[in-house]
Amino acid sequence: MKNIVEEIVLKAVKMKQPTMEALDVLKRNFLRAEKVKSVAPKKSDLLKVYHEMIKKNKIKPNFYLEKLLTKRAVRTLSGVSIITVLTKSYPCPGKCIYCPDEKDMPKSYISDEPAAARALQLEFDPYEQVVRRIDSLKKNGHPTEKIELIVKGGTWNAYPLQYQYWFILNCFKASNLISQKSKVKSQKFNSKLKIEKLKKDLLVEQRKNEKAKHRIVGLTLETRPDFINEKTVWEMREQGCTRIELGAQTVDEQILKIIKRGHGILEIKNAMHLLKLYGFKVDLHLMPQLPGSTPSKDLKMMLEIFKNPDYRPDMIKIYPCTVVKNSELYTWLQKGKYKPYSDKKLIETIISLKKEIPRYVRISRLIRDIPSHHIKAGNKMTNLRQVIQVEMEKQGLKCNCLRCREIGHQPGLQTTEYGLQTKKQALSFLRKQESIGRLSWIPAFAGMTTKELSYTKSISLFIDKYEASGGIEYFLSFEDKDRNVVFAFCRLRIDKNGLFPAFIRELHTYGQSLAIKLESSKAIKNKKNDNEVQHTGFGKQLVIMAEKICKENDINTLAVISGVGVKGYYKKLGFKENQTYLVKKIK
């Protein structure tokens, strides 16, 4: 095995821009070429051999590879694995000038982007894409019980309705059937498929998925604002969608015209309003350095997005505009009609944007995974996010976004640094801490980092209240007292004109293993009354708090937009199925 690992490391250090996907491909190809049947080596094995090889002068250090191998598996932080699948090539109604248009690819995707390359190889078959991805995650030691499914490819709602339902049906089928021993063949798409039958079959698969081994706990679809209406919103709910990636790029009317977006700011505002009315989470795509923009206009855009209650998204993706060959912008570049900012200016601009991000927003991505040889102009730094982070630290600045404050993104020490190698050791350590009064609560499961431990004494509940799209949003979160680290959060929306008057749009706990032991003041006073000591998870406490806020607002119906695979969790908390949601009557 060691030689195999050495060979892989030897190849990996030569990678200029190593990504997790590229590394997975490298490992897979190597094992296939060498006809090795064993499971691909884990990151920890690679890292160990990497260090040994450096010591022996067999290789030169590769900083990026080292970071990649050292990094905790971000995508499985809370036990949820992200699976990205792509739809087939289909004309997008948009004519956006920066958008690549490659033959046989869905609009805006390039065939050698990691997820796109995988999809192309499988002819965009949804069933095969999900099955292969679950297999590969498993092989790399990631948990696959909870899946966040992200469907990409142009504008979802522009695809024929049959195709949409067929696609989603096959994703659910794949997660339900993968554990079966006998190989199941995927169902091919044909335009004669009856929509009613597809809907019925989808419902059956969704029901099965509620109890399946691989559950789809969240489903994201991407679309354009002008395709959001009551009908499409409802269809996406039937499909099990919980989050929308909404392409806006800017909220400057003039720039929207220049880039030929084909819609204005009114459509963006209306779409955001409707999506929130139906409980969806909204991840808004934004592009600095578009033609017609300047760093100060980019900053103005960001300020507008968070000052104006008509926007205020839950998440944003910042994709600085880049010029790729198969786009209209490439001809603009050649004619000298467009010039991107310098790297320095771009970094300064993004830092100025990051400074304005409120705590309730998550910057879910910064830059797109476009292989740099496709980029004719614009940012080529694949590690731009890290470069910006380092620069901000140098300037004494900090990004307040949710992602930067999530417990899993804290550069914490591992429990192993306490010499605690096993769960048993960690648990007894925690008990000892508790017995000497150092912890007011103990984690139910001992897999925590020391960083997590160091915050335990100061975790508090915070409530940020703000107006958005005609409703009031409550961002409830468990954080350390300085609000640098977030352990769990909940997005509660109160809008008496909404589909339901109160909606839990998102509930997230980082590290499923965390459980908190709360001592009510009464229990502390009356030591005998141990029953009063609650033992409950962050998630449940946040739901209880949401119910309390509903009561304060004279609301007796609380709905939750729940991924199919987490319905069981809410049912245990007293929620019942209602249309595509789960609803609880609050007494």
Please report, as ranges, the residues that interact with Zn ion according to CB under 5 A: 363, 399, 401, 404
Q: Which listed option, Zn ion, ligand SF4, none, makes contact with residue 247 (CB within 5 to 8 Å by class)?
A: ligand SF4
Q: State how beta strands 375-377 and 516-518 pair.
A: unpaired
Question: Which C-beta is closer to ligand SF4: that of 116 or that of 490?
Answer: 116
Q: Left, alpha or beta for 65 (phi > 0: left; psi -120 to 50: alpha)?
A: alpha
Q: Choose between 398 and 540: whose C-beta lies nearer to Zn ion.
A: 398
Which of ligand SF4, Zn ion, none interacts with 224 (beta carbon under 5 to 8 A by kind)?
ligand SF4
How many alpha carbons lie under 13 Å from residue 469 in its C-beta half-sphere?
Answer: 27
The string of DSSP codes covering 287-319 is -SS-TT--HHHHHHHHHHHHHSTT---SEEEE-
Q: Sign of torsion, CA 546 552 553 556? A: positive
Binding partner of residue 404 among ligand SF4, Zn ion, none, CB cut-off 5 to 8 Å per kind: Zn ion
155 binds ligand SF4 (CB under 6 A): yes
Q: Which is nearer to ligand SF4, 92 or 282 (CB)?
A: 92
Phi, psi (5° rounding) for residue 297?
-70, -35
Should residue 96 be labelled a site residue for ligand SF4 when binding is judged by CB under 6 A? yes
Q: Is residue 247 involved in binding ligand SF4 (CB under 6 A)? A: yes
> What does 155 interact with, of ligand SF4, Zn ion, none (CB < 5 to 8 A by kind)?
ligand SF4
- Candidates 94, 511, 539, 563; binder of ligand SF4 (CB under 6 A) is 94
Report, in Å, the least distance between residue 389 CB and Zn ion: 8
- Which of 27, 43, 88, 107 touches ligand SF4 (CB under 6 A)? 107
Least distance from Zn ion to the Cβ atom of residue 478, Å:
18
Q: Minimal CA–CA distance to 404: which of 299, 301, 510, 288?
A: 510
Q: Give the N- to C-terminal CA distance of the chain in Å, as an integer.
A: 61
- Hey, what are 123's tokens? 């002819």
Tell me the C-alpha distance between 78 and 573, whole Å: 20
Q: How far apart are CA 566 and CA 506, in angstroms?
A: 12
Q: Within 13 Å, how many C-alpha atoms sit on residue 336's CB side?
A: 0
Decide: is 92 part of the binding site for ligand SF4 (CB under 6 A): yes
Please identify, using beta-carbon distances, which residue of 226 and 495 lies nearer to ligand SF4: 226
Residue from 214, 215, 224, 281 in contact with ligand SF4 (CB under 6 A):
224
Least Å from the CB of residue 231 to ligand SF4: 19
Q: Which of Zn ion, ligand SF4, none has residue 363 at its interface (CB below 5 to 8 Å by kind)?
A: Zn ion
Alpha-carbon distances, residue 558 vs 241, 352, 363, 426, 468 (angstroms): 19, 38, 28, 39, 18
**Per CB under 6 A, 99 contacts ligand SF4:** yes
Beta strand 215-223 with 243-249 is: parallel
Measured from the CB atom, is 133 or 281 closer to Zn ion? 281
Least distance to Zn ion, CB of residue 404, Å? 3
* 264: CB partners within 8 A, 6+ apart: 253, 256
- What does the alpha-carbon distance between residue 149 and residue 130 come to, in Å, rounded to a whole number? 9
Binding partner at 282 among Zn ion, ligand SF4, none, C-beta below 5 to 8 Å by kind: none
* Least distance to ligand SF4, CB of residue 330, Å: 14
CB closer to Zn ion, 401 vs 442: 401
366 contact, one of ligand SF4, Zn ion, none, CB 5-8 Å limit per kind? none
Exactly one of 78, 108, 379, 541 binds ligand SF4 (CB under 6 A); that residue is 108
Q: How far is the CB of 463 from Zn ion (least distance, A)?
A: 21
Structure tokens at 506: 């998102």
Site of interaction with ligand SF4 (CB under 6 A)? 92, 94, 96, 99, 107-108, 154-155, 224, 247
